[in-house]
Amino acid sequence: MKSVIYLKLKVVTFTIRILVIGSFLNFLACSNQVNDEPLIEPTLKLDGRLPIDQNGYYHLVLDPSKNQTIHRISGAVSGISEPTKVSWNSNLFWWLLEGDVVAEITKTYINIFTGELTYVNLPPIVNWKDALVPTINSSSYVGEGGEVNTVIAPIYRMKGDTLIVTAQINEWEVAQSLKIVLE
């Protein structure tokens, strides 16, 4: 009988010790530290790097000799101290269809036997399945000094359309759009 009571007392003592140690560790782990720094929302300012009209629309002249016209859009982000991702999207897409030529490669080299500059047209790279192609790179990171960039590449068939570009700082609800008339 004494051994049963002693065993029960040991179990209760062990349980109390576990609870005391657990409570102490929980007390040490939890802190009520308040960050006194004010939360500053970042700002985003986009620059289309193109001529702009009185209505605020940028104008991009598409190159008729190429399928895509490549152009860089810049911006400035302030109020951020750590690396931050910016998401980009636009309203225009195009289809790259199966069988379309993606690229034609010409190899240029000097023929070591004749000393002449030689051009060799390699077989074209052909798309193997239909793909929806965006007109903008979808993300970038804020660089040193708060600079952010992306590239747009509308195709010539979009001439006359208005490309709407939107950038958003991922961790915040900060976004800005600009409109580009494709001429």
pLDDT digits (tens, 9 = 90+) for 136-152: 999 999 988 899 999 99
Q: Mean pLDDT, to the nearest integer, of 81-96?
A: 91
Q: What CATH number should be reported for the domain whose range is 43-92+135-182? A: 2.60.40.10
How many angstroms separate the CA atoms of 140 and 87, rounded? 7
* Residues near 130 by beta carbon (within 8 Å), at least 6 away in sequence: 95, 96, 97, 98
pLDDT tens per residue, range 148-165: 999 999 999 999 999 999
pTM of the model: 0.71
Spatial distance between the Cα atoms of 48 and 71, rounded to a whole number of angstroms: 9
Please say if the pLDDT value at position 7 is more than 70. no
Q: Which two tokens stand for residue 89?
A: 């999207």
Contacts of 59 (CB under 8 A, 6+ apart): 50, 51, 52, 53, 180, 181, 183
Confidence tier at 122 by pLDDT (50, 70, 90): very high
